[in-house]
Structure 1
């Protein structure tokens, strides 16, 4: 394969990744469609952007729907009182209300309701995220080193006072510009893959201050991984204050400027 072909394929692959990431962001029921973040307790509450009165307790989240109100849960219309049960940490359910989705979730030990309305102005006005031009310089071949046992790792959150606990299965070791670095890794979205939360010297300057994330494919049998910072992506909290995104662990605050991946969203400028 010629160098020109390799460069062309690298760019095409990045363009495909970027387009898909923007599509997910702009989904009618994605994070940009969230209209509010409601914290539940034992006292029934009614919200302007969701049907019913909502509460939570030892048996989980309950909604009481008034006459004429309904939700569609797993394809079935429900009225009156409906129990969602106890939702696991980082779990989410997505009942439908007309053209909206009413996310019911647990974050940091708290039950929440996050309505998602396609007509939310933040979503309707979204035109895409600024990003650095992809550059092979920011692709490193590294090594994944598994811990003897997954390490429970407590990290902060975009919401003040909230904490997340993740099991870190291992760390990524790699070299950039002749300097060695190590990042604590969490489990990725797909089995075997890894996820990294980090900041760097661009954070708060050209990239979002609180965090960026990077997905890493499953390591080879010998632990070899490809770390492509061109695919460093913003988490939802970069666009909206209605997200509870985790912050990077202290050891993942890189001292170098990673001039790759997504920049500060236009919505935050």
Structure 2
């Protein structure tokens, strides 16, 4: 395998950088959304005993029938345009799914992560939203846009990985691996999970920059669907931080062991300013 040219073989480095800058700006705009991950004020794990939290109305609990909230007089949530008062049962929530209920200008996320139900309020006036100035990144470089080969498994394989929250585990179905060659000539394989768009893939990885210039725990790379010959493009310029890079109130998965690359991937997102203390 060889290093791929930029997305378009005729694309000059300046055009490549402009396209990347537009993508990076849009990504950070979404991250800084008033109800995005920077707005999370608490990660509350539910059990059978109703509990109240300072950043969300109601008393929350969970059991065999799913999450329940008990709202006192004067308390209200808005779910899909319908006002909730008194007792409301959200029902069972699927792993990695979320339901969002409005509480004034805040959103209350009700979700299931690692087999446990959580409540995670999001407040637009939270200081991390107000103070967010963007994510530092390596300069865009076409030599980090690589061509790889998708190697599908005969059947998806369940892969258990750790999480940013100690003791939590996530299980993902891996449809296959991606083999590619780095600019230094070394060949590697990464276990791939399904991406957000149909047919697309996602890899979680660390490399020799992790904990040095990039976030120590993980980075993520979205990979468009393979072509008819199972070729894929790994544009490491678009390696992104997961929410746990910005906040301790995230449950992000960690890479599987085989995705810990020994080489330095000097492309993509750097450690966020929120973790370095730099302005």
TM range (shorter): over 0.9
> Helix, strand or coil: the match of 1:230?
helix
Provide TM-score, normalisation by structure 2. Answer: 0.94
CA distance change for structure 1 residues 186 and 3 in 2, over 3 Å: closer, same or farther? Answer: closer
Aligned match of 1:155: 161
Q: Mapping of 1:1-269 within 5 angstroms?
A: 5-176=11-182, 177-269=184-276
Q: Distance in 2 between matches of 1:109 and 1:200?
A: 29
Q: Distance in 2 between matches of 1:125 and 1:113?
A: 24
Q: Distance in 2 between matches of 1:202 and 1:228?
A: 17
> Helix, strand or coil: the match of 2:109?
strand
Contact 2:13 2:141 in 1 (8 A): no
> Helix, strand or coil: the match of 2:164?
coil
Alignment coverage as a number of residue pairs: 268
Q: Which ranges in structure 2 are unaligned for 5 or more consecutive residues?
A: 1-7
Provide TM-score, normalisation by structure 1. Answer: 0.98
Q: Distance in 1 between matches of 2:210 and 2:261?
A: 10
What whole-Å deviation, never above 9, does each CA across 1:122-151 have from its counterpart, x for those lacking one? 111110111000111111101101000100
1:203 deviates by 0.1
Q: Which ranges in structure 1 are unaligned for 5 or more consecutive residues?
A: none
Contact 2:174 2:194 in 1 (8 A): yes
> Helix, strand or coil: the match of 1:27?
coil
CA distance change for structure 1 residues 70 and 133 in 2, over 3 Å: closer, same or farther? Answer: same
Q: Distance in 1 between matches of 2:22 and 2:92?
A: 38
Q: Distance in 2 between matches of 1:258 and 1:203?
A: 9
Q: Distance in 2 between matches of 1:20 and 1:175?
A: 29
